[in-house]
Structure 1
């Protein structure tokens, strides 16, 4: 070490160092001295040979000394990453890769799916014919072949199929004996398994990036999902699983928009009835107003029509949708405004932490939750109450067929467990003479609701749309936790009805000649 390149103070310290330390290489010596100097408490008094900037923390310096990396002024000024074991996760860790989405429900890496597997084992029953039927099936296709021949009591599912990873039978023996019937839905259950794990995989979802309002120069094409996403300028989706995930959410606003839009794919040859055309023409006239030359100055002031009121009765999953999803409905009609009214006792399930229920006061007698800062085109009000209670209190009266419509997503009108809840509501819906749009999980679920409405309506029902498969149904299938063999998809079918209208005609005095009043 040349004495002309080092000051007297540093030379004295080097000479006083034990011989073993002098045998260290220069880089290790500099790192050790830096660590010792960094361990001392900083002083506010500027001393000779003290750097103008404060030294790096002790953890960073010791990390460089242990790794053997050369110490440099630049490295001391750049903060080094801490130990990954001690650093908290600032970003969500990727749980699963796209090629590793299939896992057993019971041994899933996602705790949410493991809890669902435990719930399945507590609620679902083995579908083997040897077991006595525990409850009436949701679909006659799953009817017990011979209930009199069943000798064993009902048993909960406990055995998982190795191909779909979902508990479906009570034992391996029953699974092997009834394997032929399970093969009918095994591939579908495996797809559900992978889709559920995909939602919890922690990956980035580019398919959930939604476009803004639709400009007049680019008309939307409502023929099917592909043409809709293309004409609305959604990000390109080239994966079937991503397509299933995005349609699972968009099916709610797009089902409404496909029926009410002037470019609707449903016409007189595609399920729409003459009475339905009359009802929907009134709504379409309001939803597509002509340009009035409105501007921002005083000369451009024009009266604005009231918003379109959409009453979503029996709201459940649709009430917890992200508000960006409902904005897609308003983007289809850029010159109209909407007021979504979510009504039902389950409309705020699992959302108490997000929106605590307000107290019922004179100004808000039913404790409505109002969300009115959603871009200026849409407002959402939520009522945790039955519709017949609000109707009897004249909360929304009067109803106007030009501005109002009812929407019932999977209402279960004809289901034995829920039909009694709609018995009082149905006459009130028919009384309003406003169109009612309904959907169903499956074809049987939809037609069961149609039969119940026609029976309970007692001739006071006009069909707006014949029951048919929804062009904008969810492409993702859902699993019924109470009956794994019963699978369905959101808004599979769509149909509509309203109360029968009677028109008075003036009698002119001539037989067979009438004139419209």
Structure 2
């Protein structure tokens, strides 16, 4: 019955066009009517080039950066040899490359090859129909947040049949869809013990969903219904540069909700014409449409918190996200684990954070718990993010280090003490 309902919904809406296209494509292919594939269609073969001989100046420059800054994992010397399997400089010499049994016996060369071909595909100049995102969701169709494939299908995205298309789109959409997957009433994350959401997490999410689904709460009056959902992204950089139509994919998941995206941090406002980060003493506001607006705050969160610029906070309408914050990283720990974290916990609002991998996220959460353990409640135990990016990335200073954006996610908030009768 459930399968029948899904099929009926698909026929009544956009995905039926996708279904017809697949059927017609199968018929044409079976009859030999399809034209031969274009030589520009991305494949691992035609997207593979050694970076130091790349047709892209950007990637030749990255190869030079690796040679200048990175060190060979075997000899500790500068890197002068390009791995023939991945096309990326990785070792001091061929001898060092051959002796690196750990590297040769791991999946690292194959992952580095994916880094290589994904980067060349983005610079290939091919058409990118997968970036033609769908508009608002019909009210009689339900978004499925089980995984990327079902999300794309139920939202009516272009049919992404290759790893190249998935890599390009999921890197961009990982930020808004990760947010939506946490907030949505049909979130893929369930309550403990089967899922990562704690009882306190359920309380915080229930408050936010009260605001996000006003039609389900008409019998109760609340000022929250008249207030926009404020989403604070702390330490914002790449997230703040995403185009408005990308962030609209989050708002389309909650069509009755007005949203304000607050990008907070010294690098939150990038001027593309000047190609530099711009500081402003006042918030910079950009409106996408009547339901979505961006506000850029170009200083640390605790500065605005102490000035009470964001007061009052409301757990029904306010939520915080920190994407790859580096709470425990030596270069950023001091900025996070002092006044900023204290201010975050004082809001008593839900805070969700992501990491490049499980170790990265657990290291960050351990630093928070060790420092502020008695002052916080866990909302979501560290777990693999259903909507992490599928595109592999490379650390140019250490080409042995590869990662994917938003691969793991966790949540916490400042502890809310219960009233005690006296």
TM range (shorter): 0.7 to 0.9
Alignment match, 2:126: 203
Distance 1:213 1:397 in 2: 32
Distance 2:69 2:155 in 1: 42
1:118-517 correspondence runs (5 A) = 118-128=64-74, 130-131=75-76, 155-184=77-106, 185-268=108-191, 269-290=194-215, 305-349=226-270, 351=272, 353=274, 357=278, 366-372=281-287, 374-423=288-337, 424-507=339-422
**Structure number with bigger Rg:** 1
> Alpha-carbon deviations, 1:194-242, whole Å to 9, x = none?
0000000000001111111112210111111111111111111111221
Distance 1:116 1:369 in 2: 33
Alignment match, 1:136: none
Helix, strand or coil at the partner of 2:386: coil
- Cα 1:345–1:96, aligned 2, differ >3 Å: closer, same or farther? farther
Aligned-CA RMSD value: 2.1
Q: How many residues align?
A: 375
1:433 is displaced (CA, Å) by: 0.3
| More RCO (CA 8 Å, sep 6+) | 2
> Alpha-carbon deviations, 1:24-57, whole Å to 9, x = none?
xxxxxxxxxxxxxxxxxxxxxxxxxxxxxxxxxx
1:323 is displaced (CA, Å) by: 1.7
1:388 is displaced (CA, Å) by: 1.1
- Cα 1:440–1:303, aligned 2, differ >3 Å: closer, same or farther? closer
Structure 1: runs of 5 or more not aligned: 1-93, 132-154, 294-301, 361-365, 508-517
Helix, strand or coil at the partner of 2:51: coil
> Alpha-carbon deviations, 1:269-308, whole Å to 9, x = none?
3100000000010000101111799xxxxxxxx9961110
1:116 is displaced (CA, Å) by: 1.1
1:367 is displaced (CA, Å) by: 3.2
**Structure with more of its chain in strand, by fraction:** 2
- Cα 1:352–1:497, aligned 2, differ >3 Å: closer, same or farther? farther
- Cα 1:287–1:437, aligned 2, differ >3 Å: closer, same or farther? same
1:505 is displaced (CA, Å) by: 3.2
Structure 2: runs of 5 or more not aligned: 1-37
> Alpha-carbon deviations, 1:321-344, whole Å to 9, x = none?
122111100110000011001011
- Cα 1:177–1:303, aligned 2, differ >3 Å: closer, same or farther? closer
TM-score, reference length from structure 1: 0.70
Distance 2:232 2:80 in 1: 42
- Cα 1:419–1:101, aligned 2, differ >3 Å: closer, same or farther? same
Alignment match, 1:30: none
Alignment match, 1:101: 47
**Structure with more of its chain in helix, by fraction:** 2
Distance 2:258 2:328 in 1: 33
- Cα 1:179–1:159, aligned 2, differ >3 Å: closer, same or farther? farther
Helix, strand or coil at the partner of 1:411: coil
1:170 is displaced (CA, Å) by: 1.2
1:345 is displaced (CA, Å) by: 1.4
1:173 is displaced (CA, Å) by: 1.6
> Alpha-carbon deviations, 1:366-396, whole Å to 9, x = none?
2322111x13211001122111111111111
